[in-house]
Chains A and B, each alone.
Chain A
Amino acid sequence: MLEIRDLSLAFDDLLLADRLSFQLQAGKTHVIIGPNGTGKSSLLKVLFGDIRPQSGEVLFDGERLDYRQTGHWRQRFGYMPQDIRLDIGLTVLEVVLLGQLDALSLKLRDPLIESALRALDRIGLLHLAHRDVRTLSGGQCQMILFAQALMRNPRILMLDEPVSALDLHFQQVLLDHLDQQTHRQNWVSVMVLHDLNLAAQYADNLLVLKGGRLIAQGAPAAILSPELVHEVYGVSAEVAYDQQGVPFVRTPRRSRSGQSVAVPETQARSALAG
C-alpha cells in the first residue's frame, strides 16, 4: 500500500497539495484526474521522491520515504514520465533493456535480452525490436516506454498520461495489459489520465484533484456525476451509464451563441436505457 499523509506542496504561490492524504491499495488501478496545471504530475514526482514537499510524508507498506536516500525507494517503481520523445541513436530493444539498468553489464546475457523481447512481444511490438527509435511515431515511442517500465518488475507502476499519443488499438492493448498485470502481480498502479471515459473504465479507484485538494475519491460509478464534472472542469456534461453500469461522460458542443445545446441529463439516461 502506498500512502500519503498530510502532504503540502507549493511552487511559489501556486498551491499544488494542501494537507493531502490518501491511500493507494495494491492490486488496484488508481486513476488521478483533474484540471490542467493542478499538480497531478508533480504528485507523481513526490511519490517517486523526486520533488520534496513542504510537509507531509510518503509511505510504502509502512516504510517512510527518506529524501536523502532515494535509491532503494525508487527501485520498486516503474515510472513512465509524460515526455515521450526519444531522440537518441538506440534500437527499440536497447531502450527497453534500459528498464533493467541495474542488471546490465558489458556483455549481455541471453535471458535478459529474451525478457526484453518478451515484454515487446506481449504488447505486439516485437517486430520493431531492431528499429532505430528515432524512426518511430509518437505512439510507438509511448508503447516502447511502457515496455521499458514493465521491464523493471515494479511493485508500484506510475504512468503519467500513458495513452496521450496512442490510437484506439494500442490504448486498449496498454490499458488491458496494465489492468490484468495489476491484479495478477498485485501492483499498486497509479495513472494520470485526461480522458474521463477511459478513467471510468479502468479505474478501480478514481481520485479527483483540484486546487491541491482531493475533491472526490472512489469507484467511478459511485462518484462521477454532472455536478462533479462541473465542479472540477467548469463544464456542463452528460453522464450516462453503459450496460455494465460503467459511467461515460460527454460534453455537448456549445451552440454558436455560446449556450450549451445539451439535453437534460434525465432525458439522456432514458434515451440510453430505451
Chain B
Amino acid sequence: MTNTTVAQTLSLQRRNEQRRTWILLALFCVLVASFVMDIATGPSMLGVEEVVNVLLRLVGVPVGVQPTSEVIVISLRLPIALMALIVGGVLGVGGAEMQTLLNNPMASPYTLGMAAAAGFGAALMLYAGSFGLSAQLAVPVGAFVCCMLSAGLLFGLAMMRHITSGQLILAGIALLFLFQSLLSLVQFVSSPELSQQILFWLFGSLTKATWTNVGITASVTLVCMTLLMRDAWKLTALRLGESRAKSLGVNVARLRLRILVIVALMTATVTSFVGIIGFIGIVAPNIARMLVGEDQRYFLPLSFLVGAFLLSSASVLSKSIVPGALFPIGIVTAIIGVPFFFWMIIGKRSH
C-alpha cells in the first residue's frame, strides 16, 4: 500500500520535473525567435528566411544566400544580437543570485550599486583621460575596476560576523547613492560635450558590441554559469535561511563570498562593455520564480533565458519604434518591461 503510494508520488515528481524542463525548452524557442527577429530588424530590413539561411550557412549547412545580407548579418547584426542574449542572461542570473543570497526579491547588482560604480568608473576615464590605454579599452577597464571595487566593499561587509542580509542590502543601497553622487560630480565638472559623452555611455547600448567583446563576455559567462550550477543545491538550501542552511552542512560564509565574486565578475564584465541596463536584474528572476519555483536547477537557467529574452526583444523594439532611429536599449527595457511585470504580479494574485 505504502509502496505504491511512494511510487505514485515519485512519478508525480518526475512529471513535475518534466513540466519545468518543458518550460525551459519553450522559453529557449521563444528566445531563438526573438534572436532571429533581432538580426532581421535594422535600417535595411532582412527577411526572416534570409537570416535563418545565413545562420544555417554559418554552422555549415550549404544554403544559398545573398553576399550583402551575409555581410550585414555576420559583421554588423550578429555580434549585437548575441551580446543582447549574453548581457540579458547575465543580468537575469546576477539578479537571481543576489536575491537568493540576500533573501530579498528586491536585490540585484543594480540596486546594490555595482552598476552605478561601473558608470562612475567609465565617466572618470572619459573625464580624466585614459592613463595611456586606448580610449576604447580604458572606459571598459575603468568601469570594470570600479564595479569590482564596490563589490569588494560589499564582500568586506559580508565577511563580518553578525551582519544580516538586511544590513547588506542597506549598505548596497548606500553605495548606489554614493557612486551616483560621485558620477554627478564628474558630470558637473566636465565640459558639456564630455558630459554628453558620459550620458550616452550611461544609457546602455549594445552597439558597442564587437566580436572581441562578445568573445570575452561569452567566455566569462560560460565559466561563471558552470560554477554557479555546481552550487545549485547549496543555493537552494541557502534560501531556507542562514541557520537552516548551516544545519544542512552549508558553509554559509564561504558560499556567500564565492557567489558574490562570481556575480560581481559577470556583472562588471557585461556592464563595462554595454553600459548600464537596469530593471532586467530585478524582473527576470521574479518571472522565472513564478514559472518554476526556486529549485535552482531550473530557476538559475530560466533566469538566464528570461533575462536574455527580455533584452533581445527590447533590442528589437529599440530599433523598430521609430524606423531608422535607434533608441538606447537601457531606456527601452524599463518602459516596456514595467507594464508587463505589473501584469504578471496582478495576474498571479487572482489565482
A-to-B contact residues, CB < 8 Å: 48, 50, 70-71, 74-75, 77, 79-81, 83, 85-86, 88-91, 93-95, 98-99, 101-102, 104-106, 108, 110, 113-114, 117-118, 121, 126, 129-130, 132, 145, 148-149, 152
Contacts and interface: CB of A to CB of B under 8 A. Distances in A.
B156 to A, nearest CB: 21
Given A48-B247, A77-B247, A86 B240 contact: yes
Contacts of B165: none
A44 to B, nearest CB: 10
A113 B16 CA distance: 13
26 contacts: A48-B246, A50-B246, A71-B249, A74-B246, A74-B247, A81-B243, A81-B244, A81-B247, A83-B243, A83-B244, A88-B239, A89-B289, A89-B293, A94-B293, A98-B233, A98-B236, A98-B237, A98-B248, A101-B233, A101-B249, A114-B6, A126-B2, A129-B9, A130-B13, A145-B244, A152-B248
Interface in B14-49: 16-17
B251 interface: yes
Contact of A121 (B6, B232, B237): B6
A267 B178 CA distance: 73
Nearest to B17: A108
Interface residues of B, number: 31
A106 B228 CA distance: 12
Given A101-B248, A130-B9, 17 more contacts: A50-B243, A77-B247, A80-B247, A83-B241, A85-B241, A86-B240, A88-B240, A89-B294, A90-B236, A90-B293, A90-B294, A91-B293, A93-B9, A101-B249, A104-B233, A106-B232, A106-B297
A132 B292 CA distance: 12
Which of B5, B249, B251, B293 gathers the greatest number of chain A CB atoms within 10 Å?
Answer: B249
Nearest to B234: A101
Nearest to B292: A89
B56 to A, nearest CB: 31
Interface of B: 2, 5-6, 9-10, 12-13, 16-17, 229, 232-234, 236-237, 239-241, 243-244, 246-251, 289, 293-295, 297
Contacts of A105: 233
3 cross-chain pairs, A with B, having the tightest CB-CB distances, nearest first: A79-B247, A89-B293, A89-B294
B239 A74 contact: no
Contacts of A110: 10
A88 B238 CA distance: 10
A70 B250 CA distance: 10
B13 A129 contact: yes
A105 B234 CA distance: 10
A126 B248 contact: no
Which of B13, B236, B295, B297 gathers the greatest number of chain A CB atoms within 10 Å?
Answer: B13
B2 A121 contact: yes
A41 to B, nearest CB: 10
B232 A126 contact: no
Contacts of B233: 98, 101, 104-105
